[in-house]
Amino acid sequence: MTTDPTNADLTSADPNIDPAVPPSGTGCVECEQSGSWWLHLRRCAKCGHIGCCDDSLNRHATAHFHATGHEVMQSFEPGEGWFWDYTTEDYIDGPRLAAPDSHPLSQSVPGPADRVPRDWQEQLEANAR
């Protein structure tokens, strides 16, 4: 299947993708609970869980994969529609998922704005080592 925003049929032949499930919210579930912040967001294509990317401090999207076995996620960034398969470690095609397909345009990146520290870039660089 290919990503097609005009596709009105929210179905998928891939058992790892449930196109009808809406996203869990507009921010990383675990970061919201802990008061942390994120760089970019990813959406589980199976259950809709929103987690932060591997460039974020906490890497909750990958942690969600390890905890649940849900293999496919999609970018939850405005203008991005790509899917990632954790088992093949490669990009894949996928169907249109239930709206919304990204966090609100008004949401800051990194975000949320009121929790992003002044030294956020240094923190990410130190975390990448």
pLDDT tens digits along 23-74: 999 999 999 999 999 999 999 999 999 999 999 999 999 999 999 999 999 9
In the numeric block, the tokens 């990204």 are attached to: 102
Q: Judge whether residue 8 has pLDDT over 60.
A: no
**Distance, CA of 20 to CA of 107 (rounded, Å):** 24
The answer to whether 68 and 47 are in contact (CB under 8 A) is yes
In a domain, 6, yes or no: no
What is the span of the domain harbouring residue 113? Answer: 29-128
Identify the band that residue 12 occupies on the pLDDT scale cut at 50, 70 and 90: confident
User: What is the average pLDDT value for the chain, to the nearest integer?
Assistant: 92
CATH of the domain at 51: 3.30.40.10
In a domain, 85, yes or no: yes
- pTM equals 0.90
In a domain, 69, yes or no: yes
Strand partners, 72: 85
Read off the amino acid at residue 17: I
**Using one digit for the tens of pLDDT, what is the confidence trace for 70-95?**
999 999 999 999 999 999 999 999 99
In a domain, 2, yes or no: no
In a domain, 15, yes or no: no
How many domains would you assign to the chain? 1
In a domain, 24, yes or no: no
